[in-house]
Structure 1
Amino acid sequence: MAFRLDHIVIGVHDLEPAMTSYRALDFKVLEGGQHSTGTTHNALIVFEDGTYLELLAPTGKNVSSEVKKSDFLSFVHKQEGLSGFALTANNLETVAESLNSQGIKTSPVEEGVRTRPDGARLQWRLLRLEDQPSVFFIEDVTDRDLRLSNDQTAYNHENFVRGIEGLEVLVYGLQDNLEFFNALFGTMPQVQGNRAVYQLENAHITLITAENDAQRGLLGERDFVPYNVTLKTQDDNRQRDFPLNQTHGVRFNQSLQADLEAGS
């Protein structure tokens, strides 16, 4: 069962300042809208390879601990930065059955709804893992283009970033986590020292072992967390820095790509 990297979630305290920060980094940022729970709203940075970055922030509405967990608010209330990533799936029930058979417990499939500023209503379905909020699976109900943008100019960023090449994920111990991720991704990695690289259809996910107190602090009580994003760029001479104070705690690398294949 092959998966694609769908998008990466960046938790922020306040959406408008985060949008301003990323626009100052020459990203084109689209206002996403409010989720049906009323507890979160988002903005999107969409790329021509079909992936995107989601800026996710609380609306300020008081909610139960269960909703906080499902909407990543438990993370956002503590800190800003990379809070999760999504994998594209075509049949969540089949994915759940496969994962459950390998000992990975999943939560019931959830229905997701968001209304865009232009009034368009998006629908999708989510499959989460029990006690593992850093990764989830997503299946579109409405057309996926509605979740990104029908405006082709939205994909043209002045910093020449064109997509997501990969994501590094922090773990406490590499060998202790390989069995779980082998089952999760449905493939075997290339292990290189303290790194294990999983090749998805459109990107790679690299597990790296936390080696210092700062990295272990990011993990906290989680088994794994997204740590570093590698972006595709088409102009090596125009690569720019992405300071942590402007990215709201997100670490970005850049990789030169001559040609990019658009996502489905």
Structure 2
Amino acid sequence: MDLRIDHVTVAGRDLDRLTEAFEAAGFPVAYGGQHSNGVTHMAIVGFRDGSYVELISTLEDGAASPWWDSAIRENGGPCAWAVGVDDVAARTATLRDRGVPVDGPAAFQREREDGTLVEWDLTYLEDGDPGARLPFLIEDRTPRERRVQPTGDLASSPVQGVDTVVIGVPDLDDSVKAFETAFDAAEPTRSACEDLDATVASFPGLPVALARPRGDGWLADRVERFGASPAAYLLGYDADADHGFADCTAGAVGERAVEWLPVTHPVGRPYLGLVATDE
């Protein structure tokens, strides 16, 4: 199955602080509005390929959230990813037939500040928080441009959008099998990653890399706190262009060179990287 990243989520206790951190790094952010649960609200960093980073928090500090409660309360940062589908009911049925636990599809909505209603359908995969290891599925009910548009000058930026989700996992073989079952993933390439102090499995043709901690560093601590969940997001940019961001730190994930952006809030370390692509 093809996987097209729809969006990735960054959670924290204070949406204003999250917004400020992204804007300070050079990303224009647009407030997205309140969710219909009456507890959470969100902001968007929208890219030209249609993908986006969702910044999410609770309207009231400390309120219990139905989604990613631990990540919000504990300033967990990266916490979820979603893939866009054209027929969420059909994809849900296929995954159910493959033995993947599914919950959905179900309808959701939020209201933008201008009063516009945005509606979509979701299916959650596996147990626990949505999009922690396997992505959740999303299909728009209302026109997609109501839900997301490129923010500010990102409409013409060399940065295309979200390219890869890096997921910290406690068991690499089990997680590889989960992706093989759900999405026909081919055998991944495995390599050591000093930046993450992990063994990384990268799947050909899929926008995901699995990272199993090798030692007792920050990734091991994160996996112990949150279980299998996103640890970093990589943004693709035009290989023949200057991405335009300053103060980056050179590194790598698996066999791919990464330039880590100076976005560290709320986790205290970089979790957003830039990778050159030919697309």
TM (norm. structure 2) is 0.80
> Where in structure 2 are the equivalents of 1:1-264 lying within 5 Å?
1-60=1-60, 68-69=65-66, 71-133=67-129, 134=132, 135-149=135-149, 153=153, 155-156=155-156, 160-193=158-191, 194-200=199-205, 204-213=207-216, 214-220=218-224, 223-234=227-238, 235-236=241-242, 238-240=244-246, 241=248, 242-246=261-265, 248-249=267-268, 251-257=271-277
The CA deviation string for residues 224-256 of structure 1, in whole angstroms up to 9 with x for no partner, is 211122112344373323335346555122123
Question: Residues of 1 paired with 2:263 and 2:140: CA distance?
Answer: 32
Structure with the larger RCO, 1 or 2 (CA within 8 Å, 6+ apart)? 1
CA RMSD of aligned residues (A): 2.6
Question: Residues of 1 paired with 2:14 and 2:62: CA distance?
Answer: 15
Question: Residues of 2 paired with 1:131 and 1:237: CA distance?
Answer: 38
Retained in 2: the 8 A contact 1:28–1:156? no
Retained in 2: the 8 A contact 1:57–1:76? yes
Note the C-alpha offset of 1:152: 7.3
Residue 212 of structure 1 aligns to a residue whose secondary structure is coil
* Equivalent position amino acid for 2:13 in 1: H
Question: Residues of 1 paired with 2:271 and 2:152: CA distance?
Answer: 27
Question: Residues of 2 paired with 1:237 and 1:37: CA distance?
Answer: 37
Residue 236 of structure 1 aligns to a residue whose secondary structure is coil
Residue 109 of structure 1 aligns to a residue whose secondary structure is strand
Residue 95 of structure 1 aligns to a residue whose secondary structure is helix
The CA deviation string for residues 123-175 of structure 1, in whole angstroms up to 9 with x for no partner, is 00111124242131111111111111287755346xx5332221211111221
* Larger helix percent: 1
* Equivalent position amino acid for 1:72 in 2: W
The structure-2 alpha-carbon separation of the partners of 1:230 and 1:217, relative to structure 1 and needing over 3 Å to count, comes to same
Note the C-alpha offset of 1:100: 2.0
Greater mean alpha carbon deviation, residues 130-139 or residues 245-254 = 245-254
Residue 208 of structure 1 aligns to a residue whose secondary structure is strand
Residue 238 of structure 1 aligns to a residue whose secondary structure is coil
Question: Residues of 1 paired with 2:273 and 2:165: CA distance?
Answer: 10
Note the C-alpha offset of 1:92: 2.1
The structure-2 alpha-carbon separation of the partners of 1:36 and 1:172, relative to structure 1 and needing over 3 Å to count, comes to same
Identity within the alignment, %:
24
TM (norm. structure 1) is 0.84
The CA deviation string for residues 22-45 of structure 1, in whole angstroms up to 9 with x for no partner, is 111110101100001111000000
How many residues were matched structurally? 251
